[in-house]
Amino acid sequence: MASLTHKDLLGIAQLSVEDIQLILDTADALKQVADRPVKKVPTLRGKTVINLFFEPSTRTRASFELAEKRLSADTLNFAASTSSVSKGETLLDTARNLESMAPDIIVIRHSSAGAPHLLSKECRSSIVNAGDGMHEHPTQALVDALTVREVKGHIEGLKIAIIGDIAHGRVARSDTMLFHKLGADVWACGPATLIPWEFHQLGARITGHIEEALDSADVVMMLRLQQERQTEAFVPSTREYFNFYGLTRERMRLAKKDTIVMHPGPMNRGVEIDSDVADASYSVILNQVANGVALRMAVLYLLSGHAPLRPRKPSR
Ligand code: CP
The candidate with the shortest Cα–Cα distance to 246, out of 163, 170, 167, 160, is: 163
> Is the model's pLDDT at 312 over the cut of 60?
no
Centroid of ligand 1 to alpha carbon of 27 (angstroms): 19
The rounded Cα 77 to chain-centroid distance in angstroms is: 20
- What pLDDT digit, counting tens, does each position of 118-130 carry? 999 999 999 999 9
Best residue among 51, 52, 140 to mutate for probing ligand 1, ranked by most atoms within 8 Å of CB: 140
Count helices and strands in the chain by DSSP H and E runs: 12, 9
- What pLDDT digit, counting tens, does each position of 229-283 carry? 766 767 778 888 999 999 999 999 999 999 999 999 999 999 999 999 999 999 9
Supply the mean pLDDT for the chain: 93
pLDDT above 70 coverage of the chain, percent:
96
Please state, in angstroms and rounded to a whole number, the distance separating the CA atoms of residues 141 and 262: 12
Interval 207-224 mean pLDDT: 97
- What pLDDT digit, counting tens, does each position of 11-46 carry? 999 999 999 999 999 999 999 999 999 999 999 999
pTM score, whole prediction: 0.94
Query: Who has greater pLDDT, 1 or 200?
Result: 200
Indicate the helix (H) or strand (E) that contains 126.
Answer: strand 126-132
Best residue among 53, 57, 165, 289 to mutate for probing ligand 1, ranked by most atoms within 8 Å of CB: 57
Centroid of ligand 1 to alpha carbon of 2 (angstroms): 30
3-state secondary structure of 90: coil
The C-alpha R_g of the chain, in whole angstroms, comes to: 19
Q: Residue 228: its pLDDT value, please?
A: 75
Beta strands 48-53 and 105-110 are parallel
With a Cβ cut-off of 6 Å, ligand 1 is lined by 57-61, 131, 137, 140, 264-266
- What pLDDT digit, counting tens, does each position of 297-308 carry? 999 999 998 777
Which of 81-90, 214-223, 293-302 is least confident? 81-90
The candidate with the shortest Cα–Cα distance to 296, out of 7, 5, 9, 6, is: 9
